[in-house]
Every structure is written in structure tokens, then in C-alpha cells.
Amino acid sequence: MLRQVLRSLIGGFLMGTADLVPGVSGGTIALVLGIYERLVASIRQGSSALGSMIKADIAGFRDHLRIVEWRFFVPLVAGILLAVVLLASFLEQQLEERPEVIAGLFFGLVLGSIGIAWRLLRGATWRHVAIAAVVGLVLFVALGLGEGQVREAPSSFAFFAAGALAICAMILPGISGSLILLMLGMYAPVLAAVTDREFGTITVFALGAMVGLAIFSQLLHWLLEHHHDNVLAALIGLMAGSMRILWPWPDGVGSAELGSPGNDWLSVSTAMLVGAMIVTLISRLAMSRESVASA
């Protein structure tokens, strides 16, 4: 039992580390570790239990809770939270001291993730190309209109909504919660709240995550079950469009202003390449793991 708990704790720590970095999905890490299906099943049962509680169906509430693998799920969540607490400060410091290089790394991670997500399509057609292109173009233009700046003092509702939307990425291989936060201009504020131990703000964000997970886990499951390729194509478009705020020049992550490469172009380009290689390696490990499991 102790070994299982430690394995789940370590797995959660790896997932939390991945979700802190835009472009690397915690869902992808779950695939690599062979725990993705167990994770999704536990989340669905938990959200179903919440739905039963809202309906005052006590028997249904208990039945759904019994199905959840608590010895697996609780240490996993604890590991995710531990990674966020321990690494948020480091990432925030790097964003301040090396904004262009870190933006380049994130850019490469997302670029690699786009290629991986495209390969997850069951039957790619020109329709999926069009969906990805339209969604990506709309987001690219919208980010430019909003100037893509990170919010300096977001409201409590902004943190709540960010938590509700970002948590959905945890159960989707190919897109990370941090990428969603970047697209919303909430990545730096959330990191700062965790680093500064702003427990009120963190609680609001966590409540948003709980509500988002309860509502969207069932919806996302249904959409992926019935419209898998269309949904994935839209997600690919979101990733592509969001790269506008990951372009390293002139100021690194958080600006929609598109500048030309500066004097540090070599180090930034190297970081881009490293980012793409990291996410590609993770994808290959995931595919090899699936091949072994299906053999």
C-alpha cells in the first residue's frame, strides 16, 4: 500500500510540474505513467457524486464516491499541489530574470505540442485543418486587440474563472493548464499568488478549479466521445493562436507585441529547440508505453 501511495505521489508531482509549464500537459504525463484512464475515471465519478449531492440523491452520492480510487487519487492530487508550491517561485524568478529565454522554451514546448496533438487525430481531413486555422486566427487577432498584457490586479472572479477553465486541460493530453492561463493573461498573477502565499486568492482559484472540473469533465468526455477530431482540431487552433503571447521578442511571455529577434537570438532559438525536443520525447515515451500495454 505504501508503495502505491508513493507512486501516486511521485506521479502527481510530475503532472504538477508539467502543468506549470505551458505546452506540457499533465494529461500527457499521465499517459506516460500509464495512469490516464484511472485518473479520468476517478474525476468522472467525483463529478457524478457532486451532481448527485446537488440533486439530494444521497444513495447515488455514496455509490459514486465508493467507486473513486481514493488511495490512488488523493496522493496524486497531493503530489500535484506539492509541485505547484515548490516550483512556482522558481518559475516566477526565471520569468523575471530571463524572460526571452523562458519565452523561447515555452514557444518550443507549444510548437512541439501542436505536432503531437495533430497526430492524435483519428482521421485528419481538410475540415480539421480549417477548424484549427479559423480558431487559431481568431485567437491570434483577439490577443492582439487585447494587447496580450498580463493583468496586474485581476479580480477574484478572474481567478475563479481562470481556475475553472485551466483545470479542464489537466484531463486533456496535448494542452496544458498553464497554456490556458497564458491565453487568459493570468499565468504570472497565479504564479505570484502561489509564491506570495495569498491563501484567499489561491482558495478562490481552487474553488473555480473544482467547479470547472465538476461541470466540464462530463462535457469534455461527451465531446471527445462524439466529436473527438473536431474538438482536438479546435484545441490545436487554440495552441497555435496562443503562440502570439509566447513570442520571445521584445519582452518575453505576456506581450502580444511582435518584435524581431534581438542579440540573444541564439540562446532563445536553442531554448525553442530544447522545448520542442522535450515534448517530443515525452510523446514518444507515451506512445511506447501504450504499445507495450496493448501488446
Per-residue b or e along 97-112, where b marks 16 or more CB atoms closer than 10 Å to that residue's CB = ebbbbbbbbbbbbbbb
Provide the mean pLDDT of the chain: 81
Residue 294 above 60 pLDDT?
A: no
Residues 187-204: tens digit of each pLDDT: 888 888 888 889 899 999
Q: Residues of the chain with pLDDT > 90: what percent?
A: 13
Place of cell 481538410: 126
Residues 128-181: tens digit of each pLDDT: 999 999 998 988 887 776 544 445 578 888 899 989 888 876 666 656 777 778
Query: How far is 260 from 250, CA to CA, in rounded Å?
Result: 7
Sign of CA dihedral 163, 33, 49, 82: negative
Specify the pTM: 0.70
Q: What are phi and psi of 237, to 5 degrees?
A: -60, -40
Query: Grid coordinates standing for 37?
Result: 484512464
Q: Longest C-alpha distance within the chain, in Å?
A: 65
The DSSP H or E segment spanning 114 is: helix 99-119
Residue 253 is given by DSSP the state T
Yes or no: say if 109 and 280 are a contact pair by the CB < 8 Å rule.
no
